[in-house]
Amino acid sequence: MKLSDLLKEIEEEEGNSSKDESINYKMMFFKYISKWYWFAIGLFICLSIAVVHTYFSTPQYMVTTKLLLKDEEKGADFNSNAVVADMLGFSSSSSVENEAEVLKAENLMVKTFDELNLTHSYYKPHGKFRWTELYGAEVPIQLIMHTRKPIITMDGEEDAENFLIVQIINEDEFELETPSGAKKTYSFGKRLSNQYGEFSIVKNPALAGSSDSVEVVQVVENEPIRIEFYDPKAVAKYYAENLTVDIVNKLASVVSISLLDAHPKKGTDIMLKLIDVYNQEAENEKNTIARNTITFIDEQLVGLTDELKEIEGESEQYKLNNSITDVSAEAQLYLSSTTVNRQQLSEFSIQIDVLESIESYLKNQGSEYEMVPSTLSIQDPTLTGLIANFNQLQRERERMLRTTQPNNPIVLNINQQLSSLRSSIIENLRNIKNGLMISRDNLQATSNQFQGRASRVPTMERELLEISRQQGIKQQHYLYLIQKREEAILTLAATTVSNTKIIDPPASSDYPVSPNKKLTFAFSLMLGLAIPFGFLFIKDLWQGRIELKSDVEKITSTKVLGEISRNPGKSGVIAIKKNKRTLIAEQFRFIRSNLAFSTYQQANKVIMVTSGISGEGKTFFSINLAISLGLTGKRVVVLEFDLRKPAMLSALGMEVPIGISEYLEQDIYELDEIIHPLTEAENVSIIGCGKIPENPAELMMGDKLLRLLEDLSSRFDYVVIDTAPIGLVSDSFMLSEIADVTIFMLRYNYSTRAQVKTIEDIRLNKKFKLPLIVLNDAKLEMTYGYTATYGKNYYQNT
């Protein structure tokens, strides 16, 4: 491959890619606007549905409120107090995310409907086939349900005939109509019964004391009131599913609650009751925990009190049996008493030894007239006095013996006194010693007793400690339960504040938000345009037909000579004549000019016109192309070479006896015999097909065909060959070497993209010389962007 050819192919591929990216929106607009009737039908149907929908849809009001929920993590603990905050185990812990889900719970809505006693609704007529809901003081009557029977359902759906129609007759009577059409008159307050249960219909108590109650009754006196029964659980479930709970801010514990309802007052009451039920559930949950705690503690205290009394009795009996009050204090007392006793025993022993030594001194022979030593530690006044007297007489005797004789009566008298005192002293010593010995023995016994009890102190202390330990555990458990019981009691008394704080009270919108008429009609308008557009778009994709020039340019790089508009058919198959300035005529002149530029400095004598399938207008184009070339003074001959299904002569209204098939099969005919001038055009001749041959392919493979075309090329300036479609037979491929130019006809909304791909394959593989494309059946606005008005003013109509 040459470098120039390679560069050319690269340039063509880049051109294709750029074409693929570009979208001619104006062409697409004109393409779809031409099928305006589809869009008109779509708009009519969708807008009709929108009208019916808005008419029969029940208007819905939006009821909204804002709540501040308790969330300790975000600091929203508005109902806490110091007492409850200190009660570990009874403080509630919640998050705004969890509480938002609780608010949407179906169970809460069911309880809301139960407390509001919403088991039926009231309606009055509102236009043709429509009813509007009444609520509260708007209803002049009230249905009181005494006993309710379950509504019979079919396949999970409520019975469609679960209603009654009440017609007020006067102040005392009303007419009741059942779904079956039966009517009967009853008095207000009469107890009635049907498949829904037992009920009574009375005057609305809300209007009993109102001065305008009669006026309200008169307003609706002539209008029927429809009472519809429903399953509260099913309706509550519907409301719960349509309840919207949004967290306003991630940093705050504020939620926005919204609800749709047909009556604003009813929706507001439902919202208020829902909040009330939510607070009751939260309070009941906290109180339930506290009550259960109190019950559990009371049960525990019964057995714990008996156990504590039993342990205290054991401790008391143990102390009584061991004669102790405080083991540690008595042990200290035993130790101190033992020490004192030992000191006293030592003193007693010393005193006894002193007494015995004095006694033995007095009894010793030779010591009768000796001085008695001092008693030292003996603190006895009698003994001390006797010894003092005895020693005094001893001193007096010694003084007398210095001057007198031992047998002196005075001396003898003193001796006698000393003997008596000695006896008294010895007797006194014995008495004192005996007393001290008794005291010593008693003290020794007491000391032994103290030592015995002191040795048992560790055992008593251990045993008493075990009893005290059990007593302490039970007492601590008892005090803990008492404390928690008091906390639970305080919780019941202190946690009466609701779990929410209403920031914005429930309020309904001033106007219905559903159905949104503007949005409904806008959506219907868009849908009315989108459905036909989507249908046509899918249809085009499914069929794969070309609709725009850009569709062809995206697939192939084959040059497009031009576009031809639809022939109105008023002038027959010939669309161009001298001095004729119609749109189609000018289009053929434009194609003629493009053909000259496209074949500049290239052979263009033999022009073959073909198509992908039959019906794309190749015969029409061949005739008019030849006429346009003849108008320039060139001699042109047109060959009807579709030997299988010829249509040129019949379109021109010509009848010739012989044609190409006879000329090629037999050698008896001359060329001039098959050439016939076209009387309606200058410089144009026609060669018909003749009779349809049995072997057209073999007939075209002969050498006589080449000689025929050579002769025609020498006699005419242009030879236009109208050949068979390439997508059906192979006749055109047999003429590929003879034709200088090959023009492929494509028809808008008829030819397929597969045919264009075939043309691209022919171009890439160079199966035909100089392939070109002409687009047929184009609309004026789809060709050069001209408007239809401009085209009508610029071109001739005929």
- Torsion, Cα 719 725 728 729, to 10 degrees, reads 0
- What contacts 24+ positions apart, CB below 8 Å, involve 463-472? 463/318, 464/315, 464/318, 464/319, 464/324, 464/327, 467/311, 467/314, 467/315, 467/318, 468/315, 470/311, 471/308, 471/311, 471/312, 471/315
The DSSP annotation for 473-509 comes to HHHHHHHHHHHHHHHHHHHHHH--S-SEEEEEEEEE-
Q: Give 775's strand partners.
A: 563, 746
Measure the CA–CA gap between 251 and 74, rounded to whole angstroms.
Answer: 7
Q: Which two tokens stand for residue 302?
A: 């019964």
Give residue 74's pLDDT band: very low, low, confident or very high (50, 70, 90). low
Query: What is the DSSP pairing of strand 157-158 with strand 244-247?
Result: unpaired
Residue 502 within a domain? no
* pLDDT tens-digit series, residues 390-437: 778 777 877 887 788 778 888 788 878 877 877 787 788 788 878 878
Regarding whether 264 and 128 lie in a shared domain, the answer is yes
- Number of Cβ within 10 Å of residue 385's Cβ equals 12
Regarding whether 76 and 203 lie in a shared domain, the answer is yes
Measure the CA–CA gap between 576 and 593, rounded to whole angstroms.
Answer: 15
On whether the CB atoms of residues 59 and 262 are closer than 8 A, the answer is: yes
Residue 489 within a domain? no
Measure the CA–CA gap between 426 and 372, rounded to whole angstroms.
Answer: 11
Q: Does residue 81 have a pLDDT over 50? A: no
Cα distances from 20 to residues 17, 173, 549, 552, 555, in angstroms, run: 5, 80, 12, 10, 8
Last residue of a domain, one of 433, 463, 479: 479
DSSP three-state, residue 750:
coil
What pLDDT, on the 0 to 100 scale, is given for residue 136?
85
Regarding whether 789 and 705 lie in a shared domain, the answer is yes
Average pLDDT of the chain to the nearest whole number: 79
Regarding whether 570 and 526 lie in a shared domain, the answer is no
Number of domains forming the structure of the chain? 4
Q: Does residue 343 have a pLDDT over 50? A: yes
Mean pLDDT of 184-206: 85
End-to-end CA distance of the chain: 51
Mean pLDDT of 715-738: 83
On whether the CB atoms of residues 553 and 560 are closer than 8 A, the answer is: yes
Residue 305 within a domain? no
Q: Does residue 734 have a pLDDT over 60? A: yes
- Number of Cβ within 10 Å of residue 744's Cβ equals 31
Q: E strands within 453-592?
A: 500-508, 559-565
Regarding whether 213 and 346 lie in a shared domain, the answer is no
Regarding whether 786 and 676 lie in a shared domain, the answer is yes
Residue 750: which CATH number?
Answer: 3.40.50.300
pLDDT cut 90: percent of the chain above it: 15
Residue 122 within a domain? yes
What pLDDT, on the 0 to 100 scale, is given for residue 526?
93
Judged by phi (left if over 0) then psi (alpha if -120 to 50, else beta), residue 74 lies in alpha
> Structural domain of residue 722, as residue ranges?
563-794
Write b or e for each residue in 13-24: b if 16 or more Cβ atoms lie within 10 A of its Cβ, otherwise e.
eeebeeeeeeee
Measured in whole angstroms, the distance separating CA 534 from the mean position of its chain's CA atoms is 32
Query: What is the DSSP pairing of strand 684-687 with strand 636-641?
Result: parallel
Residue 227 within a domain? yes
Q: Which two tokens stand for residue 42?
A: 């779509």
Regarding whether 112 and 136 lie in a shared domain, the answer is yes
Regarding whether 568 and 534 lie in a shared domain, the answer is no
Residue 554 within a domain? no
Stated pTM of the model: 0.55
Q: Does residue 637 have a pLDDT over 60? A: yes
Which of 115, 117, 85 lies closest to 281, judged by CA?
115
Regarding whether 575 and 526 lie in a shared domain, the answer is no
Q: Where are the alpha helices (DSSP H) in 364-408?
A: 381-401
What pLDDT, on the 0 to 100 scale, is given for residue 243?
92
Which range, 210-224, 557-571, 623-637, 642-656, is most confident? 623-637
Give residue 230's pLDDT band: very low, low, confident or very high (50, 70, 90). confident
The DSSP annotation for 757-779 comes to HHHHHHHHHT-SSSEEEEEEEE-
Regarding whether 517 and 642 lie in a shared domain, the answer is no
DSSP three-state, residue 381:
helix
Mean pLDDT of 452-458: 62
The DSSP annotation for 239-268 comes to HHHH-EEEES-TTS-EEEEEEEESSHHHHH
Residue 504 within a domain? no
Question: Which of 74-88, 640-654, 766-780 bottoms out in mean pLDDT, i.e. has the lowest?
Answer: 74-88
Regarding whether 736 and 682 lie in a shared domain, the answer is yes
Q: Which residues are CB-neighbours of 334 under 8 A, at least 6 positions away?
A: 450, 451, 453, 454, 457
Measure the CA–CA gap between 678 and 627, rounded to whole angstroms.
Answer: 9
Which of 242, 247, 276, 252 lies closest to 506, judged by CA?
276
Mean pLDDT of 352-378: 69
Cα distances from 216 to residues 122, 140, 206, 213, 223, in angstroms, run: 15, 7, 12, 5, 12
Measure the CA–CA gap between 643 and 694, rounded to whole angstroms.
Answer: 9
* pLDDT tens-digit series, residues 505-522: 999 888 888 888 888 899
Residue 757 within a domain? yes
Q: Which amino acid is at 284?
A: N
Residue with tokens 């006429």: 627
* pLDDT tens-digit series, residues 534-544: 888 787 777 67
Regarding whether 749 and 642 lie in a shared domain, the answer is yes
Give residue 272's pLDDT band: very low, low, confident or very high (50, 70, 90). very high
Cis peptide before 515 (omega within 30 of 0): yes
What pLDDT, on the 0 to 100 scale, is given for residue 576?
87
Measure the CA–CA gap between 421 and 415, rounded to whole angstroms.
Answer: 10
Residue with tokens 């919202």: 271
On whether the CB atoms of residues 718 and 625 are closer than 8 A, the answer is: no
* pLDDT tens-digit series, residues 133-192: 888 888 888 888 888 776 655 444 545 568 888 988 888 888 888 888 888 899 998 888
